[in-house]
With several copies, the nearest count.
Chain A
Amino acid sequence: MALTKEQIAKRIAQELQDGFYVNLGIGIPTLVANYIPEGVDVVLQSENGLLGMGPFPYEGEEDPDLINAGKQTVTTIPGSAFFDSAMSFGMIRAGKVDLTVLGAMEVADNGDIANWKIPKKLVKGMGGAMDLVAAAKNIIVAMQHTNPKGESKLLPKCTLPITGVHCIKKVVTDLGVFDITPEGFRCIEYAPGVTVDEIKTKTLGRLVIADDVKEMVV
């Protein structure tokens, strides 16, 4: 069985290490915050100017002056700090954020990512995505393995306008976990109930199966 969005988020949460500063993008990445392992202390960065983002507020406690980069109302945890957008992207650019988790439309087997534009349809803009992928030292993509038409999103080359080059380190999809290596996507885990053959069928980019590939624990 392919993973649910929540399970993808849960698997990515296993990558978190104590002391990490983490930026979570919109969509599945946002859910990662719900699965931070016990005993692991991470600080969430929101690129609109907040370190120490907490959970969504209780109903009636929303503060219009306190939102995340997805414009959702949020809260802060003790030890948080606010700053302007230049400092926010400054710390991203300077490599101070340990891990960035982003959604994607396409990922190429060389680590390129496309997640901001579909030509001919309306362009909404790249927001902070191009800054994040250009500068973050460790980027994991969280996405479905295939698009709604069933086509692979793990490609030999992005077909959509790219957001950044050679920047993705790891991809977690509903089918498995893939490191980006010089040989292409290296499958190190498959989802429970998913076969390596299914992954091979649904992956268009170069794919290698790790010798010690194993079933994902989520």
Chain B
Amino acid sequence: MKKVVSGADEAIHDIPSGATLMMGGFGLCGIPENCIAAIVKKGINNLTCISNNAGVDDFGIGLMLHKRQVKKMISSYVGENAEFERQLLSGELEVDLIPQGTLATRCMAAGYGMPAVWLLAGIGTEVAEGKEIRNFNGKEYLLEMAFDADFAIVKAWKGDTQGNLIFKGTARNFSPLMAMAGKVTIAEVEHLVPVGELDPNEIHVPGIYVHRIFQGKDYEKRIENRTVRKKG
């Protein structure tokens, strides 16, 4: 059990150009900041990214887009990113837009060893084009395939040296599903603790799914849409 690596550079050292990556996070919430920085530094390209969103121009996956490292995005919503728009319109970037619940469930299917799932979303829309449709109990469902990702890259709140992960708040989102789905799963954590410190009842992703883990650093945790109310 030697899962702990020194940092993001070591964790992502063998990700080749052309790889398919799952990347956790919803908007900028819960994104693997350290690994994204290391991927940008390493300069690999032709990547396929399965991620609910594509970051913003100067943060998150937006940094990878800026360096033109991404060949294809598989996402549910990509509307926060001018560079993304430019690359898409110029044909430099492919994009596969799929419903958010379908995205989540196709990740889950991979982690649960299910090759495909029957889902409601998209029936009667262009999402259904070319897909098998079947009626169960009077409702129509689409057959959607499990994702197949070379690497899953997630950020967790706490993790132990065995790879057990715990997420915080809505930073959980897609990350546990992706962690369970990757052929190789890399987790960066805000708090890396010795085994035995986490309550086994509270683990969101058991260590069996996690291959590499490291203590992350310098988290910016940028807020995309700061919304507040006045006191009083």
Contacts and interface: CB of A to CB of B under 8 A. Distances in A.
Judge A-B direct contact (beta carbons within 8 Å).
yes
Interface of A: 18-19, 21, 41, 43, 45-52, 55-68, 70-74, 76, 78-97, 112, 122-131, 134-135, 161-166
Given A48-B29, A73-B226, A85-B101, 4 more contacts: A52-B200, A84-B177, A90-B101, A91-B180
A126 B227 contact: no
A79 B180 contact: no
Contacts of A72: 225-227
B85 A89 contact: no
Contact of A134 (B85, B121, B176, B230): B121
Interface string B98-113: 1111111101101111
Interface in B46-92: 52, 75-79, 85, 88-89
B151 interface: no
B196 interface: yes
A62 B29 contact: no
A127 B100 contact: yes
Given A64-B221, A83-B206, A125 B75 contact: yes
Contacts of A55: 229
Contacts of B89: 122
The 3 A-B residue pairs whose C-beta atoms are closest, nearest first, are A93-B113, A89-B101, A124-B79
Q: Main SS of chain A's interface residues?
A: loop
A198 to B, nearest CB: 32
B120 A161 contact: no
A80 to B, nearest CB: 4
Contacts, number: 244
A74 B101 CA distance: 21
B100 A59 contact: no
Interface string B154-197: 00010011101001111111111100100000000000001110
A124 B88 CA distance: 11
A33 to B, nearest CB: 12
Most buried by A among B26, B101, B161: B101
A89 to B, nearest CB: 3
A124 B77 contact: yes
A57 B175 CA distance: 25
A95 B79 CA distance: 28
30 contacts: A46-B170, A51-B206, A57-B229, A59-B229, A65-B168, A65-B221, A66-B169, A67-B29, A67-B224, A71-B27, A73-B226, A76-B200, A80-B200, A81-B207, A83-B172, A84-B204, A89-B105, A90-B105, A91-B209, A93-B101, A94-B111, A125-B77, A127-B77, A130-B121, A130-B122, A131-B120, A134-B123, A135-B113, A163-B125, A164-B125
A119 to B, nearest CB: 10
A126 to B, nearest CB: 6
Given A49-B170, A130-B121, A130-B125, A21 B208 contact: yes
A157 B225 CA distance: 35
B143 interface: no
Contacts of A50: 169-170
Contacts of B224: 67, 71
Contacts of A19: 1-2
A38 to B, nearest CB: 15
Contacts of A43: 1, 162, 207-208
